Structure 1
Amino acid sequence: MDRLPPLNAIRAFEVVARRLSITVAAEELHVTPGAVSRQVRTLEDALGVALLVRGHRQITLTRAGEDYYRSVTRAMDVLRDATTRLTRRTRRTQLKVRAYTTFAMRWLIPRLSSFHTANRGIEVLLTASLDPVDFRREDIDGAIRLGDGKWQGVNAYRLVRNVLTPVCSPALATGVRKAGDLQRQVLLHSIARPDDWASWLAAAKGDAVVDARSGMTYQSSAMAYAAALEGQGFAIAQRFLVEDDLASGKLVAPFRKALDMGDFTYYLITPADRKESPSMATFRKWLLAQFGDGAPG
């Protein structure tokens, strides 16, 4: 038989076999005992096999009925599990958030598990891009952007104090004390942040002797930080993104001079013309709490 047996009859048989009672099965299924008996008979006719031994006061399973009951139970368990997984997914709210690659990799992703643990009904779909955000044309709920916070048509929530400082492996820091010493070192750059070395060198008064454009350039700051960890040179880092490496000693910050970029920092932005969803509000509050509610970090 290529097609499935009657599914209502399968359900009736499963309850009867589990309860070993037509009457009790009828109560569970909210139908009459006669309806249950007819369903089981229909299944037996379809299969061409007797599944039950019907006594005067009790019901037992035939050998074929026992084997079939075990198979039916396994199949129904699989169906229940699949249904549970599906309904859990459909009950979850998807929150679409965009961030920069380095911010996502070095800060947000390591912390997202704690958000998902605390908010199992919200699934954050995280994407990375350097492109400007246009909430009118794009299907995203929020984004983490770098700038002065003065964007049109958005709500901007300041996240963190953005401090630039050179970092390197401990071995490279030997003998490096002032900004001018960097003229003999390899500077590591990010295409996404081409002016960071020039800004820091000007603030440290080392731009007269150090070429801010020299060295090696990478697609992202994350790649520049990885090169610094491997001892390939000095990266100009946003300090909050390398705090863990500084704390562990994998990287060091050999200079006392650090450049605070002021209002030019990271913000969570959301569309001003759209009512904030409960899931977005939950994510926003969680994110701000990670940074101390936007206080300088």
Structure 2
Amino acid sequence: MDRLPPLNAVRAFEAVARRLSITIAATELHVTPGAVSRQIRTLEDALGIQLLVRGHRQITLTRAGEDYYRAVTKAMDGLREATVRLTRRTRRTQLKVRAYTTFAMRWLIPRLSSFHAANAGIEVLLTASLDEVDFRREDIDGAIRLGDGKWSGANAYRLVPNILLPVCSPALAKQVRKPADLQRQVLLHSIARPEDWGFWLASTGADKLVDARSGMTYQSSAMAYMAALEGQGFAIAQRFLVEDDLTSGKLVAPFRQAVDMGDFTYYLLTPADRAESTSMATFRAWLLAQFQGTAAG
């Protein structure tokens, strides 16, 4: 037979075969015993095979009925499992969050699995962009942005101290002793952060000797950090984004001088004119907790 059997009848058969009782099966299915008996006969007629032996007070399965019951049970269990997976997925709340590429790659993505593990009902849809955020025109729930904490139409939650310092490979660190020595080294820049080397060099007084614009420029800080890891030069880094590499020794901070950018740092932005959803509140609390205890200097 190349078509499906009558599915209502299959459902009735599964209940009867499992319970070995038409009366109990009828109660489970919220129909009359007579309706169940008719469904069983319909299925047997469609198959051309007897599935049940009806005794005076007992129902037993024929051998064909036992084989068919095992097959039906497996199929229905698979259908139930697929339904549960689907309904769980559709019940998940999608939270749309925007971040910078470097922030996402080096800090947020490695930690998102812990958020999803603790909050199975929330799915974070993460995008990366340098574009300004406009909650009134865009379908996003939150954004991680660098600035002074003042955004029109947004609530701003300060995340982390923004500490700038040069980093390089251990081998290159041996070639410098003081900031002025950088005049003979390759500086690595990010297009998105062209002023960082200038800020740091000015804080050390080496800006008169070292050209803050010299060196190699990359599309993102993540690329500049990768170049530093490969020994191609000195990157000006935001410390929390390279903390793991500094701890492991893959990168070295060759100078003690660092610059705290104060209020100019990373913030989580949420729409000011919308009530905060439970999912956004959960994500915000988790994100802020990740930065608790982050050193300021």
TM norm structure 2: 0.96
Shift of 1:30: 2.4
Give aligned-pair identity as a percent: 85
Match of 1:96 in 2: 96
Q: Deviations over 1:249-273 (max 9, x none)?
A: 1111011110111111000001111
What is the alpha-carbon distance in structure 2 between the residues aligned to residue 145 and residue 61 of structure 1? 67
Match of 1:178 in 2: 178
Shift of 1:293: 8.4
Shift of 1:55: 2.1
More deviation, 271-280/113-122: 113-122
Match of 2:37 in 1: 37
Contact 1:167 1:254 in 2 (8 A): yes
What is the alpha-carbon distance in structure 2 between the residues aligned to residue 92 and residue 201 of structure 1? 48
Match of 2:220 in 1: 220
Q: Deviations over 1:27-46 (max 9, x none)?
A: 22222221111111111112
Q: Does 1:70 align with 2:77?
A: no
Shift of 1:104: 0.8
**Counterpart of 1:242 in 2: which secondary structure?**
helix
Shift of 1:67: 2.0
Q: Which amino acid aligns with 1:216?
A: M
What is the alpha-carbon distance in structure 2 between the residues aligned to residue 254 and residue 296 of structure 1? 19
**Counterpart of 1:134 in 2: which secondary structure?**
coil
Q: Deviations over 1:50-102 (max 9, x none)?
A: 11122223222222222221221111111111110111112211111000011
Q: Which amino acid aligns with 1:291?
A: F
**Counterpart of 1:214 in 2: which secondary structure?**
coil
Contact 1:288 1:294 in 2 (8 A): no
Q: Which amino acid aligns with 1:28?
A: E
TM norm structure 1: 0.96
Shift of 1:295: 8.4
The alignment covers a number of residue pairs equal to: 297
**Counterpart of 1:156 in 2: which secondary structure?**
strand
Q: Which amino acid aligns with 1:213?
A: R
Match of 1:144 in 2: 144
Shift of 1:128: 0.7
Shift of 1:123: 1.1
What is the alpha-carbon distance in structure 2 between the residues aligned to residue 156 and residue 294 of structure 1? 18
What is the alpha-carbon distance in structure 2 between the residues aligned to residue 272 and residue 112 of structure 1? 25
More deviation, 178-187/159-168: 178-187
What is the alpha-carbon distance in structure 1 between the residues aligned to residue 69 and residue 35 of structure 2? 19
